[in-house]
Amino acid sequence: MQSLLNVKKDFPVLENNQDLVYLDTGATALKPKVVIDKINEYYNEYGVNVNRGVYTLSYKATTEYEETRTMCAKFLNALEKEIVFTKGASNGLNMVALGFGMDYIEEGDEIISSELEHHSNILPWMEVAKKKKATLKYIPLDSTGRISVDAFKKVLTKKTKVLAITYVSNVMGYISPLEEIIKIAHENNVIVVVDAAQAVAHMKIDVKALDCDFLCFSAHKMMGPTGFGILYGKYKYLKKMSPVEYGGDMIDIVEKDSCIAKDAPYKFETGTPPVAEAIAFKEAIKYIEAIGYDKIKEHVDELTRYALTKLSKIPGIKIYNPTTEVGIITFNVIKAHPHDVATIFDEHHIALRAGHHCAQLITKWLECVGTLRACIYIYNDYSDIDKFVEALEEAVKYFEEW
Amino acid sequence: MPNNIADLYNQVINEHRKYPRNKGLIEGYKTLHLKNPSCGDDVTVQMKIENGVIVDVRHDGSGCVICCSSASVMSEVLKGKTVEEASQIIDDFYELIKGNMPKDEDRLEDAIVYLNIHNFPPRAKCATLAWRAAGALLVDDEGEDADE
């Protein structure tokens, strides 16, 4: 056993639930105390609105708030004006499809996505395709359920206008070969929209190196607050993209029969935002960068290897993704429905997700009603994996004897 | 295994899982299809009501043990009851799921085996799905195909 990160103590939920084994990071990551403290700091010390008042406290709140944009730009290697604040990945992906795609896609065009996507990166494009009489196509997955460059080339045609693709699958834990796919997409004038919701907790994202046109993620999956997220877009596209919501704050000049919106990114940000969440997100970025993505990967890889070795010795279960790359293990007890097994895990205070994980297409591809998903992250340790494996062995035995 | 689990998957529930009663649909009956979208439980319930009496109950679908066994138990308990009796039993069942023992527990017959569900709050929606469909069929004369 190699030495792992020792960060459990940073997470109040784990302090307050001593026997909890948290394996549901794919749904949301736990928040370190620094993030929670920053939320409280805003409400306790300067809890006023942003971008409005000229008084000192409002200036303080606005400064803290806009610092998040600066920090996000640096975090992603983007420009500040390319960072749009959203309610989360789903919100951002919808903004791109409905605000950009709806204008950009024309009748007869083709949009490519994949069966590995979370619903949030398919359904908005399904809606665009329906309204604009375009076609939604899927990259055929290989026998392990992965997206390959060759498979993408097979569905790419002269009519392809947009590729909406996940960076990391929330069910299979595979990393898509995006650099090469994006290069080929751009050679064919295809706009690429990346869902980085799962990726951002596990890998450094450099939007310049990746060269994606849009990229969305939620703060809460990388230990930041819920209800807040980032949409990155190349500025030339953000300039063209229409807002989906209109109202206060996003507008420059309003006349009786016309209005002029602010420039991006502000034209996409109407209404009072989740100020505390936006401000506290800085602490999540600082926290994750202080640990370092290389250390996170080492920790997650080691525990995943440890878990998979133990799981491989349990008969009566099926692992759907033994080659997972980011600590997401998707499995079933062969003889039992995933929800029946989830209750047994719950009795052992092991939190993991059962069901289709908002990705029904991959569940269908796996030909099952649903799956169990254990997600390993920095606050897990060997003991968590031992308890998880022990509970799973009991579940198998229990349902075996039926 | 924690003791609670044995309380949840007791012998009667296991019996109905293995040998579901009144399973399979019949053409011409009043039909209602309900789902628990978050977990994929999917149940269709049918009833034949003549002169205010439920002469037949059928069910079909897929889901976890709690959901499927509960559909089977429901079909047995409600079959042969008047619409009025059935409505009262369904109300009693909802109370039971909340952890309240109904005044007349005999009336629930085998459905009493779900008395421990209130210790597993996330599973209440599994246990009640088929009963919600049955309740809706009793109040709705036409029957319809509606998803939650």
Residue A112, classed as helix, strand or coil, is strand
Whether B72 is in a domain gets the answer yes
Q: What is the pLDDT of residue B146?
A: 44
Inspect the interface and report whether the beta carbons of A354 and B39 lie closer than 8 Å.
yes
Query: Residue A339 is nearest to which of B1, B2, B39, comparing CB atoms?
Result: B39
Q: Residue A265: is the preceding peptide bond cis (ω within 30°)?
A: yes
CATH classification at residue B16: 3.90.1010.10
Flag whether pLDDT at A28 surpasses 70: yes
Quick: pLDDT tens for A293-316. 999 999 999 999 999 999 999 999
Which residue stretches of A96-169 are H helix? 102-104, 123-132, 149-155
* Cβ contacts of A397 on chain B, cutoff 8 Å: 1
* Cβ contacts of B5 on chain A, cutoff 8 Å: 343-344, 347, 398
Q: Do residues B83 and B54 touch, judged by C-beta distance below 8 A? A: yes
* Cβ contacts of B123 on chain A, cutoff 8 Å: 339, 343
Whether B70 is in a domain gets the answer yes
The pLDDT > 90 percentage for chain A reads 94
Fold of A8-24+292-400: Aspartate Aminotransferase, domain 1 (3.90.1150)
CA distance A82 to A59: 23
CA distance A66 to A58: 12
CA distance A70 to A183: 28
CA distance A398 to A299: 32
Write phi, then psi, for A361 (nearest 5 degrees): -65, -40
Quick: pLDDT tens for A147-170. 999 999 999 999 999 999 999 999
For tokens 């080492």, name the residue: A298
Flag whether pLDDT at A64 surpasses 90: yes
Whether B148 is in a domain gets the answer no
In the DSSP assignment, the letter for residue A110 is E
CA distance A266 to A261: 8
Hey, which residues does A162 pair with through a beta bridge? A111, A191
Can you tell me the mean pLDDT for A265-292? 97
DSSP string computed for B48-115: EEETTEEEEEEEEEE--HHHHHHHHHHHHHHTT-BHHHHHHHHHHHHHHHTTPPPS-GGGGGGGGGGG
For tokens 């994006």, name the residue: A182
Inspect the interface and report whether the beta carbons of A340 and B2 lie closer than 8 Å.
no
Bigger pLDDT: A253 vs A53: A253
- Going by pLDDT thresholds of 50, 70 and 90, the confidence category of residue B145 is very low
Residues of chain A with CATH 3.90.1150.10: 8-24+292-400
Whether B147 is in a domain gets the answer no
Can you tell me the mean pLDDT for A117-127? 97
Cα four-point dihedral sign B49, B53, B58, B59: positive
Whether B144 is in a domain gets the answer no
Closest C-alpha to A230, from A281, A181, A182 = A281
ipTM of the complex: 0.78
In the DSSP assignment, the letter for residue A188 is T
Class of residue A379 by CB neighbours under 10 A (exposed 0-12, middle 13-18, buried 19+): buried
Query: Residue B62 is nearest to which of A356, A369, A402, comparing CB atoms?
Result: A369
Whether B145 is in a domain gets the answer no
Residue of chain B whose alpha carbon sits nearest to that of A337 = B64
Query: Residue B64 is nearest to which of A337, A397, A398, comparing CB atoms?
Result: A337
Residues of the domain holding B132: 3-139
* Cβ contacts of A340 on chain B, cutoff 8 Å: 9, 64-66
Closest-CA distance, A382 to chain B, in angstroms, reads 21
CA distance B58 to B143: 14
Can you tell me the mean pLDDT for B106-126? 92
Closest-CA distance, B82 to chain A, in angstroms, reads 33
Cα four-point dihedral sign B64, B67, B68, B69: positive
Distances (CA, A) of A157 to A72, A77, A110, A153, A251: 35, 31, 8, 8, 39
Q: Do residues A100 and A237 touch, judged by C-beta distance below 8 A? A: yes
- Going by pLDDT thresholds of 50, 70 and 90, the confidence category of residue B3 is low
Token digits of residue A292: 């370092």
For tokens 């569900």, name the residue: B117
Q: How many domains does chain B have?
A: 1
Quick: pLDDT tens for A170-207. 999 999 999 999 999 999 999 999 999 999 999 999 99
Distances (CA, A) of A292 to A31, A187, A189, A286, B106: 16, 34, 35, 10, 62
* Cβ contacts of B116 on chain A, cutoff 8 Å: none
Inspect the interface and report whether the beta carbons of B39 and A355 lie closer than 8 Å.
yes
Q: What is the pLDDT of residue A94?
A: 98
Q: Do residues A35 and A287 touch, judged by C-beta distance below 8 A? A: yes
CATH number of A46-289: 3.40.640.10
Inspect the interface and report whether the beta carbons of A369 and B1 lie closer than 8 Å.
no
- Going by pLDDT thresholds of 50, 70 and 90, the confidence category of residue B141 is low
Which positions of A are catalytic? 358
Whether B127 is in a domain gets the answer yes
Mean pLDDT score across all residues of chain A? 96
Residues from A contacting B (CB-CB < 8 Å) are 336-340, 343-344, 346-348, 354-356, 369-370, 394, 397-398, 402
Q: Do residues A313 and A296 touch, judged by C-beta distance below 8 A? A: no
Residues of chain A with CATH 3.40.640.10: 46-289
Query: Residue B120 is nearest to which of A336, A343, A394, comparing CB atoms?
Result: A343
Token digits of residue B88: 């009262």
CA distance A23 to A374: 5
CA distance A74 to A46: 25
Can you tell me the mean pLDDT for A230-247? 97
For an interface test with B, the pick among A341, A343, A344, A357 (most B C-beta atoms closer than 10 Å) comes out as A343
Query: Residue B40 is nearest to which of A346, A347, A370, comparing CB atoms?
Result: A370
